[in-house]
Structure formats: structure tokens, C-alpha cells
Amino acid sequence: MWNHEESFEKIKPEIIVIDPITIIGCSFDKNTRRRFYYEFFKRMKNWNSLVIVTGEMSEKEIEESTLGYVTDGIIHLTNKEKCKYHTLDGRNHIIRTCDNR
């Protein structure tokens, strides 16, 4: 089995992209997925890299997910009723803008 932490120590990448994160946790039940994401993101902070993860989630799924608690921020992009709606959700702030074009 691939030891990713050993690889990250050896390579020391500046940027890591995981696309999509949702596929990694989809086979777990809710509690196992929560625990996995918590441990995984805790380890990522030690990698000293910019880690970008993507995933397809509804606004409700984001609110119910533990990802918001273990990440530094979430950018949610959606298109509701011809309105481009952008949400930047971080630990200390929430910015919501609606741009009607």
C-alpha cells in the first residue's frame, strides 16, 4: 500500500490538489467519514503545503458536513435562478455576494 505521508515528506510539494474529496469518503458510514476527514485534514496541516480539495456538495450537505470544521475555508459556487452566488466561508468570516448578469 502507498504510504502518502512518506511520499509527502520526501517530495515536499508546495501545492497538493485532491479532486474530488467526496469520492474518498463516500464508502464510509457517516461517523467513520467524519473521523476520517478529521484525521486526514489534521495530517494535511503538518504537510506544510497549500492543499486544495474539490467536491460536489449542495449547500445543505456543506452545512451538515464536518468539512467546514476541519478546513480553513470553503468556497461554494452555485447557480441559483440565473444568479451566480458565491460563498466564502472561513473560520472568522462569511462573505456572500450575488452577481446578476
| Domain interval for residue 53 | 4-71
Q: Is residue 95 part of a domain?
A: no
Q: Is residue 42 part of a domain?
A: yes
In percent, the amount of the chain with pLDDT more than 90 equals: 0
- Calpha distance 71→78 (Å, rounded): 20
Query: Hey, which residues does 17 pair with through a beta bridge?
Result: 52
Q: Is residue 82 part of a domain?
A: no
Q: Is residue 54 part of a domain?
A: yes
The per-residue pLDDT for range 6-19, each reduced to its tens digit, is 777 788 888 888 88
Q: How many domains does the chain have?
A: 1
pLDDT at 44: 79
Q: Is residue 16 part of a domain?
A: yes
pLDDT at 91: 53
Q: Is residue 101 part of a domain?
A: no
3-state secondary structure labels for all residues of 11-52? HCCCEEEECCCHHHHCCCCHHHHHHHHHHHHHHHHHCCCEEE
pTM over 0.85: no
Q: Is the peptide bond before 20 cis (omega within 30 degrees of 0)?
A: yes
Q: Is residue 50 part of a domain?
A: yes
